[in-house]
Every structure is written in C-alpha cells, then in structure tokens.
Amino acid sequence: MTDFNKLTWSKVSIFSLEVLAYYIESDSLSDCQTQFNLPRYKIINILDKVSNHLGFAVYEVCNTQTKPSKKVKPYLSNIKKLLSQLEKTYRKSNQITLYLPIGFGQVFAKYILPKIKDNHCLNISIYSKNILDNYGLFYRHIINHYDLVYIPKTYEYLLDPNLWICKYNFDSSVHVYASQEYISRNTSIDHPKCLENSNIIGHSPNQKTGNVWSFKANANDEFHIKIQPHIYIDTDYIQLCAAGNALGVVKLEKLLVELSNDRINSILSEYELPKAKWSLYVKSNSKNPRINECIKEIINLLQQFSLH
C-alpha cells in the first residue's frame, strides 16, 4: 500500500473526494447516485478522473457489479480525515459564500455590499436562471455548499431541507418595459395583443412557458399572449441592457429595473403580470455571525419593494 501522502490527492477536487469517500463507505454505486443526485455515468466519470490522478483504478467490475477496488478501500479513513481538514481550513478563513442570480448580484454589489461593515472574505458566485432550468439537478450538490442562497421558489427542491432554513420569501413585481426610443419609432402598445407585432426580447426558447405572457386587467379579464421573440437572452440583466439600447420589449422584475437606473419605461402598466417568487435561504449550520448582517441588509432591500 502506497503512503497516502505520496499520492497526488491535491489534484482531486473536494467534490470528487466526497463522492469517492461515500462510494467506498456505502460500497454501492446506486447509493452514491442517490446521495449526489447524479446519473451513473457522471459518477463513473468522476471516479475515472480520480483514478487517472492517483495512478490506479478506484473501482472494479466483478460479475457485472461495480465495486470499490481493493486498492482504494484502505484509504477511506485518510480521505475522510483530509476532507475534515479541508472543511476546517475553509471555516477558519471566515469566508461567507453567497449564490445569487446575475441580476440580483448586480443589485447586491451596488446597494447591499457597501452597507455591510465587515465585508471582507465574502465570496459571491452568480448564476443564470437558465443554468437551473437545464442543469439544476447536476448543480444541486454544488448549491448545497454555499452559506446563503437567493433562489426562485420553483427551484427550492434543489436545496437539501436538512441543511437550509428559509429566512424570507419575496414576491417580486413584474412589468413589461421598452426604451423611449423604441416606443417612439413603433406603433403604440396599449393592449397586450399589440405584443404579437412587437420585437420581443425573450428568455431561453427551452423554457416550457417562457413564450406565453399572461396579463390580468381585472378579476374577469385575462390575456395569454403567445409571443415570438426575435432575440433570446437567458439572463435578466443582459435583457435589460438590450432593452435599454432600443432592441425591443422585455418582461422584467421591477426591482431590477428601478435599481439599475436604466432608461426604460414601463408599458401596459394597467395590466397585472404574475409575480416572480423568490426565497432567501441560509445554511442551518452556519456559525459565522457576519452572515446575519448580509441577511438583514438583503431583507431590508427586498421589503422596500414588497409593497410595490
């Protein structure tokens, strides 16, 4: 058995180490798939990469069953010890990790970050909602490594309920917008049906309902307009920039538009659109007192718009 410290563990990612440790301990590839919510081929790919780094196979196939190799099993306690050390090092860094959508990440950096007195060691990662649409289950384990997450309620299932506490739910007002330049050079848009002949900036065409915009005038009058986007942009903030450059009509959250100071105008304001529903979650085992300051400032900002 080769000395543990002489093997190239430094080239193996923490996530891969976690997968390997669980695989060895459970002695089951199917259990590993369930634990990390990954298909079989993804787990095999991870184990193959670890094998390449270490120079020996970490699994073997016997009678159609895939099992941890005899060579890797003796390293389980060392791997778990290494993971524990890495976790302690991470916590000692006093780092707070946040997972925010791109648009709200812009808002956070501009309006919230300056108000946090002790903002060193904040690690902010941003994501596109299109990532959750298409690869949410693959990113599930990654998301659960963060300390604070702002996520659409439709994707709450990606969060392990044993790890997270919901701190705030936010219903974000949604409006249709266009720049004054676009409005000036096009026929007036005074009814949702006018959007059928407008240049629409839409989300990813992969979204199941993204090409139908719903409007309500009162309790009885509802309009469901099938739009035909001429530009697809999967990120709200980039959609905002495109609309600001008179490229078309866009559907966005009021919070994002108002706090960006972009020169676009709300149109069809007499009609109500379904609100975007978001949730702010904090890791239940987070012991860093500075995270409460982040939560407080985020909630304060959201509450300013909760009545809009």
User: Which residues lie below 8 Å from residue 150, measured CB to CB, with a gap of 6+?
Assistant: 98, 99, 100, 101, 104, 278, 279, 280, 281, 298
Q: Largest Cα–Cα distance in the chain?
A: 77
pLDDT for 227 equals 85
Q: For the chain, where are the alpha helices, taking DSSP H only? A: 14-26, 29-36, 40-54, 76-92, 102-107, 129-143, 180-184, 236-244, 254-260, 290-305
pLDDT for 251 equals 93
Residue 182: strand, helix, or coil: helix
pLDDT for 163 equals 84
What does the block give as tokens for 261?
A: 């100071």
pTM score of the predicted model? 0.68
Closest CA to 104 of 171, 65, 151: 151
Instruction: Delineate the domains of the chain, giving CATH numbers in brackets.
Output: 4-90 (1.10.10.10), 93-171+277-305 (3.40.190.10), 174-267 (3.40.190.10)
User: DSSP for 129-174?
Assistant: HHHHHHHHHHHHHHHTT-SEEEEEGGGGGGS-TTTEEEEEEEEE-E
CA distance 57 to 71: 8
Question: Torsion over CA of 49, 39, 149 and 231, rounded to 10 degrees?
Answer: 100
Average pLDDT, 10 consecutive residues per value, the chain (308 residues): 63 80 90 84 89 88 86 88 72 74 87 74 80 68 84 88 89 92 84 88 66 83 86 86 90 87 83 92 78 87 74
CA distance 152 to 128: 11
What does the block give as tokens for 19?
A: 């997968």
pLDDT for 290 equals 76
Measured in degrees and rounded to the nearest 5, phi and psi for residue 9 equal: -70, -25
pLDDT for 7 equals 61
